[in-house]
């Protein structure tokens, strides 16, 4: 569901979203349409006694072909398909095609399926790239160095583009955050049309670290058009009428989005500032609880990118990391939409060293029983510290003066097979 606050953000966001490649070269607005799955990869599927077999690969192709036909009627658009028939291009083929085509927009169409047999999950959702500025993303943009289209202001700051210079890395990060903002806009428009025009249930716009979103150097969205294991959804997405309605909603969203881009490029408002990164990092505090949850626990309501910090016996669950105000605000909205009504943005000073009486340690294991001396943990970390409180054993390891070092240590443990660890802040 899209709330009015997103609209207020549009005008601000658009001042720093640009699509100069498209503007300067007067080339057509290029859209890559990606029908999910195909060929031997059927995707999500289900058999029904009345409507027969509903297969994701057929639904996605049906919607994409209908959408493509609508777009091709307008000569301003160039449409590129990752597939037009029942075949399976690999995920890398799909993103390579999009990057090579210097596309302005990437739209991937999929069908959802919920793990439970109960089929209570229903409706649409749209994914954009994850909230963390991730390395894979930057590497893609770096490899495609002529993909760097900065606006006038950025060009002054990063005039000499050299892919390996630190300044250029900052430029790339700015570019990535622009793609994310643009993806949030188009994703919001799609979900809004599903709700308002098609009277569907929307599960909102979410962030997820998916290949087709991560490896693209352009605004990209992945639309889950309905649940194959929900009877009403399955019926809707498998009919010509349902697919046509879905295609129209996506088409209308693309049209509105392109209008925004055109308006922004042709009528620049120079007095509005380009978004600058903030000094501090921001994470969304979801909740503080005496209970330890793993990322798969339903208490975290499906949110990913969770950092847990234990302090005074309470586990604090944080979502996302960013130093952009707009991304922070969106992360907060995602948290509230997920049901964390009291969540709030907390600022962290990057690489802040704790005072002499405090340090971070890693809580490796908590349990009623002692760890076996032959366990992977004790073999890997023989100097681990064991404490017993109220009949529970707590194993902790290491002392770190900054949160970043503790996070790095946690990642190292993960690579050694020690998972579900928690960072704990301790005062002597």
DSSP 341: T
**Positions 325 through 364 that interact with Zn ion (CB under 5 A):** none
- The least distance separating Zn ion from the CB of residue 120, rounded to whole angstroms, comes to 20
Helix residue ranges, H only, 267-375: 325-338
Name the residue nearer to Zn ion (CB basis): 9 or 110. 110
- The CA distances from residue 174 to 18, 73, 276, 323, 324, in Å, are 11, 34, 8, 11, 9
Q: Which stretch binds Zn ion (CB under 5 A): 30-38, 46-54, 133-141, 264-272?
A: 30-38
Min. distance of Cβ 247 from Zn ion in angstroms?
17
Q: Give dist(CA 333, CA 197) in Å, integer.
A: 23
Could you tell me which stretch among 37-45, 65-73, 114-122, 327-335 binds Zn ion (CB under 5 A)? 37-45
- The radius of gyration computed from the CA coordinates of the chain, to the nearest angstrom, equals 24
| CB crowding 118-138: b at 16 or more within 10 Å, else e | ebebbbbbbbbbbbebeeebb
Tell me the window of 24-32, 36-44, 171-179, 293-301 that interacts with Zn ion (CB under 5 A). Answer: 36-44
CA atoms within 13 A on the CB side of 58: 12
417/379 Cα distance (integer angstroms): 12
Should residue 226 be labelled a site residue for Zn ion when binding is judged by CB under 5 A? no
Least CB distance to Zn ion at residue 428 (A): 51
Rounded to the nearest whole angstrom, what is the least distance from the CB of residue 60 to Zn ion in the complex? 7
Nearer to Zn ion, 36 or 320 (CB): 36
Pick the stretch among 43-51, 61-69, 95-103, 194-202 that binds Zn ion (CB under 5 A): 43-51
Measured from the CB of residue 222, what is the shortest distance to Zn ion in angstroms? 8
3-state class (DSSP) for residue 184: helix
Question: Count residues contacting Zn ion (CB under 5 A)?
Answer: 3
Q: Which stretch binds Zn ion (CB under 5 A): 98-106, 109-117, 154-162, 279-287?
A: 109-117
Q: How far is the CB of 283 from Zn ion (least distance, A)?
A: 30
- Nearest CB to Zn ion, comparing residues 43 and 204: 43
Distance from C-alpha of 246 to C-alpha of 257, rounded to nearest angstrom: 17
Where does this chain touch Zn ion (CB under 5 A) — which range of 42-50, 156-164, 257-265, 344-352? 42-50
> What is the crossing angle of helices 240-266 and 231-238, to 10°?
80
Interaction residues for Zn ion, span 110-129 (CB under 5 A): 110
Element (H, E) at 362: strand 358-367
From the CB of 223, what's the least distance to Zn ion, in Å? 10
Asked if 89 and 42 touch (Cβ cutoff 8 Å), the reply is no
Contact between 36 and Zn ion (CB under 5 A)?
A: yes
* Unique residue bearing structure tokens 């002054």: 156
Identify which of residues 238 and 322 has a Cβ nearer to Zn ion in the complex.
Answer: 238
Name the minimum Å distance from CB 272 to Zn ion: 38
203 vs 320: CA distance, rounded Å:
19
Based on the shown chain and the rule CB under 5 A, indicate whether residue 94 belongs to the binding site for Zn ion: no
* Site for Zn ion, rule CB under 5 A: 36, 43, 110
């Amino acid at each position: 569901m899209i709330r009015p606050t997103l609209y207020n953000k549009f005008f601000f966001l658009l001042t720093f979203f640009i699509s100069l490649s498209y503007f300067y070269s007067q080339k057509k607005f290029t859209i890559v349409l990606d029908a999910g799955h195909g060929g031997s990869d059927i995707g999500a599927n289900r058999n029904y006694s009345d409507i027969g077999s509903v297969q994701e690969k057929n639904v996605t192709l049906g919607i994409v072909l209908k959408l493509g036909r609508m777009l091709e009627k307008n000569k301003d658009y160039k449409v590129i398909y990752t597939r037009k028939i029942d075949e399976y291009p690999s995920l890398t083929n799909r993103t390579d095609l999009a990057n090579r085509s210097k596309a302005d927009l990437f739209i991937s169409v999929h069908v959802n399926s919920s793990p439970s047999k109960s089929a209570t999950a229903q409706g649409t959702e749209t994914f954009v790239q994850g909230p963390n500025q991730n390395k894979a993303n930057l590497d893609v943009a770096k490899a495609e160095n002529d993909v760097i289209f900065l606006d006038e202001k950025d060009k002054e700051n990063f005039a000499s583009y050299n892919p390996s210079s630190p300044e250029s890395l900052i430029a790339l990060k700015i570019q990535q955050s622009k793609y994310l903002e643009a993806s949030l806009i188009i994703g919001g428009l799609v979900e809004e049309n599903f709700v308002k025009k098609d009277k569907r249930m929307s599960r909102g716009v979410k962030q997820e670290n998916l290949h087709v979103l991560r490896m693209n150097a352009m605004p990209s969205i992945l639309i889950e058009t309905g649940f194959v294991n929900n009877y009403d959804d399955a019926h809707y997405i498998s009919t010509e009428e349902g697919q046509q309605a879905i295609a129209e909603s996506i088409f209308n969203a693309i049209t509105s989005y392109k209008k925004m881009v055109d308006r922004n490029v042709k009528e620049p408002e120079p007095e509005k500032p380009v978004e600058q990164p903030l000094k501090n990092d921001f994470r969304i505090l979801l909740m503080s609880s005496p209970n330890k949850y793993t990322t798969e626990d339903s208490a975290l309501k499906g949110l990913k990118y969770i950092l847990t910090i234990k302090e005074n016996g309470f586990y604090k669950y944080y979502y996302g990391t960013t130093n952009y105000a707009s991304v922070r605000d969106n992360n907060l909205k995602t948290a509230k939409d997920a049901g964390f009504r009291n969540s709030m943005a907390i600022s962290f000073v990057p690489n802040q060293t704790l005072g002499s009486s405090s340090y971070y340690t890693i809580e490796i294991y908590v349990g009623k029983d002692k760890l076996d001396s032959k366990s992977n943990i004790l073999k890997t970390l023989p100097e681990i510290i064991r404490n017993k409180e109220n009949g529970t054993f707590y194993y902790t390891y290491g002392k770190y003066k900054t949160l970043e070092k503790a996070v790095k240590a946690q990642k190292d443990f993960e690579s050694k097979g020690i998972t579900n660890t928690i960072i704990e802040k301790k005062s002597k």
